[in-house]
A and B are shown apart, each in its own frame.
Chain A
Amino acid sequence: MSTQTIAQNNAISIKKKKSQVTKSYSIWRGLSLPVFVLILWQLLSSLDILSAQLFSSPLLIITRFIELVQSGEMAKHLQISLIRAFLGFAIGGFLGLLIGVIVGMNKRAEEYLNPSIQMLRTVPLLVITPLFIMWLGFGELSKVLLIALGAFFPLYLQTFLGIRNVDKKLYDVAQILEYSRMDQITKLMIPASLPNILLGIRLALSAAWMCLVVAELLGADRGVGFMIQDARSFMQTDTVFVGIIIFALAGKISDSFVRFLENRLLKWQDSFKA
């Protein structure tokens, strides 16, 4: 054991400690702004400067949240919302990925499909919603389809983009190694465009949450969106806030999940990390 290795070990442990410290610092830095806003809000509410009717107070919102959880109301709404979001995301995301791969791999398919998809993409989803309701009523199908539509475009677009960015040089290699068409897709195109696909999934998830809210606000008898709409008509500001927080949390959790996937699946990438 030479002094050099000891020095090296020391250097490594110092480095580790430093990165742990920076990590916990970065969590606190992220939390500082929301915590500050919450304290200020509670303070202003307690001092009656903010109208209790319109703004509730953080404490009231928490109490309301606990009530809703205990009564089982929350579980009822959350469950149906999650099912809708998941189904819509799964259908739209899967189709986006599939059609993105097909259009990305095949020039003919691109010529036939891409112009129409690009045109449809620019139409605001809110404009299509009335049609969905007219055709399919207020049932689950129209909601799930609206969410699917929202999730479809980002994933389609990013998959297509990712495949078109695959290095021609690697494609040559796959040809020399006699990859079948299926191997080319699963072992070259999809892994190579994974950074784009994961970005597409993130965008598709946020689009799915957005469409879920739209669908539930427009007409539903259950779901977190309905809970908000219902509370609004009774001026239950605290419940509205609880609903908003639920959406914020759901969005954050799904986003973190994709980030986790990115860290796991893209560890081969050698990109700049500030």
Chain B
Amino acid sequence: MESTVKIDHVRKTFKSDNESIKVLEDFNLAVKYGEFLTIIGPSGCGKSTLLKLIAGLDLDFEGEIMIADKSVNGPSKDRGFIFQEHRLFPWLNVEKNIAGNQSLKDPDIRSKVDHLISLVKLKGFEKAYPRQLSGGMSQRVAIARALLRNPKVLLLDEPFGALDAFTRNHLQEALLEIWEENRTTMILVTHDIDEAIFLSSKVVVMDAKPGRIKGIVPIDLPYPRTRISKAFQEYRTVILKYLDHQDNEIEDWII
């Protein structure tokens, strides 16, 4: 099994009353097992739409999306989804939110939930309700909830966008730790270049209207990465060039 996610000639159009807008135009991408892939692009480039298609939340598209060689035909546990907002169930406390429809009385689930709570560093908050948690804590609960289902791939739709800079940095480090421990395939959508370089093994830069791949930048830096290093700065320049310039101007920058 080479790739966890395979996106094959995917087209997506939004149809309103008398016009149709091409959101994704012939999109092809293969995500390797255990890879941390980030999709970056201007707003409206269809990156969040693409994530929804992979999740199976929107089935109205052309082409094919395969998860571990099986075609997507609806949402499923093998694709965890972290939204921009935490989307926890407000009537359940932390541990019950993570367990969801699985029973904490089952010793197997219990131990897995306990392990995840310590993995996302929320020990002592098991019984807290979402309204008592900060944004960063809530998002960590959401990540634990997704991980309990052992997803083949974790889809993250600007998960740290609504958080302050300090919490964001902290959560990025936490996510890397989780990735290093679990080796879950990650697909992250963001518009934060630093976040993309700090986290991912590969950055996909997208162009808007219609959404398509402009370039793929593998990040060959050892973890943990420092945002102030020279190499980091160089990657930042490369991605910025991709985002800012027309196709013909950036050819020199492709590495």
Give the B-binding residues of A (Cβ under 8 A). Answer: 169-170, 172-173, 175-180, 183, 187-188, 191-192, 194, 267-270
Partner of A169, one of B83, B100, B145: B83
Q: Select from chain B the residue with minimum beta-carbon distance to A190.
A: B91
Using A194-B91, A268-B131 as known contacts, say yes or no to A175 and B101 having CB atoms under 8 A apart: no
Chain A residues with Cβ below 8 Å from B92 are 191, 268
Partner of A178 from B77, B83, B91, B145 at Cβ < 8 Å: B77
Across the interface, which residues of B come within 8 angstroms of A173, CB to CB? 81, 83, 87, 89
For chain B, residues 75 to 98, give those with C-beta under 8 angstroms from any C-beta of chain A: 75-77, 79-81, 83, 85, 87, 89-92
Partner of A176, one of B75, B85, B90: B75
Sample 20 A-B pairs with CB under 8 A, ordered by A number.
A170-B89, A173-B87, A175-B75, A176-B75, A176-B76, A176-B81, A177-B77, A177-B100, A177-B101, A177-B149, A178-B75, A179-B100, A188-B89, A191-B91, A191-B92, A194-B91, A268-B90, A268-B130, A268-B131, A269-B131
- Residue in contact with B85 in the complex, picked from A169, A180, A194, A270, CB distance below 8 Å: A169
CB of B131 within 8 A of CB of A270, answer: yes
B55 CB-CB contact with A under 8 Å: yes
Using Cβ atoms and an 8 Å threshold, which residues of chain A touch B75? 172, 175-176, 178
Interface residues on B, range: 20 to 34
Check A176 against B77 for contact (C-beta < 8 Å).
yes
What 8 A-B pairs have minimum CB-CB distances, sorted nearest first?
Answer: A270-B131, A175-B75, A183-B101, A268-B91, A176-B75, A191-B91, A268-B129, A178-B77
B254 lies within 8 A of chain A by Cβ:
no
Give residues in B with beta carbon < 8 Å to A. Answer: 55, 57, 74-77, 79-81, 83, 85, 87, 89-92, 100-101, 129-131, 145, 149
In angstroms, Cα B56 to Cα A176, docked, is 8
List residues of chain B with CB within 8 A of the CB of A188: 89
Task: Give the complex CA separation of A94 and B81 in angstroms.
Answer: 36
- Complex contacts, B77 vs chain A, CB 8 Å: 176-178
Interface centre among A170, A191, A268, A269 (most CB of B within 10 A): A268
- Find chain A residues with CB under 8 A from B90 CB: 268-270
Knowing A187-B100, A268-B129 are in contact, say whether A176-B79 is a contact too (CB < 8 A): yes
A145 to B6, CA, bound (A): 60
Q: How far is the CA of A268 from the CA of B90 in the complex (A)?
A: 6
With a CB–CB cut-off of 8 A, which chain B residues contact A269? 90, 131
B145 (CB) vs chain A CBs: closest residue: A177
Which residues on the B side are within 8 Å of A175 (C-beta)?
Answer: 57, 74-75
Residues in B neighbouring A170, C-beta threshold 8 A = 87, 89
Alpha-carbon distance between A267 and B131 when the two chains are bound, in angstroms: 10
- A176–B77 Cα distance when bound, in Å, is 6
How far apart are the CA atoms of A165 and B5 in the complex, in Å? 35
Judge whether B87 and A169 touch: CB under 8 Å. yes
Tell me the complex Cα distance, A169–B86, Å.
10
Extra 10 A-B pairs, beta carbons < 8 Å, given A176-B81, A178-B149: A170-B89, A172-B57, A172-B75, A175-B75, A177-B77, A179-B101, A183-B101, A187-B101, A268-B92, A268-B131
B89 surroundings in chain A (CB, below 8 A): 170, 173, 188, 191-192
Q: Are B101 and A176 in contact (CB under 8 A)?
A: no
Closest to A175 in B: B75
Nearest residue in B to A271 (C-beta to C-beta)?
Answer: B131
Q: Give the distance in Å from the alpha carbon of A268 to the alpha carbon of B94 in the complex.
A: 12
User: From residue A251, how far is it (CB to closest CB) to chain B in Å?
Assistant: 28
Which residue on A lies nearest to B149, using beta carbons?
A177
> In the complex, A169 Cα to B90 Cα: how many Å?
12
A77 to chain B, nearest CB (A): 41
Q: Which residues of B contact A270 (CB under 8 A)?
A: 90, 131
Could you tell me the distance between the alpha carbons of A178 and B129 in the complex, rounded to whole angstroms?
A: 23
When A170-B89, A191-B91, A194-B91 are in contact, do A176 and B80 touch as well, CB less than 8 Å? yes
Residue from A177, A188, A268, A270 whose CB has the most chain B CB atoms within 10 Å: A177
A263 to chain B, nearest CB (A): 14
CA distance A188 to B145 in the complex (A): 15
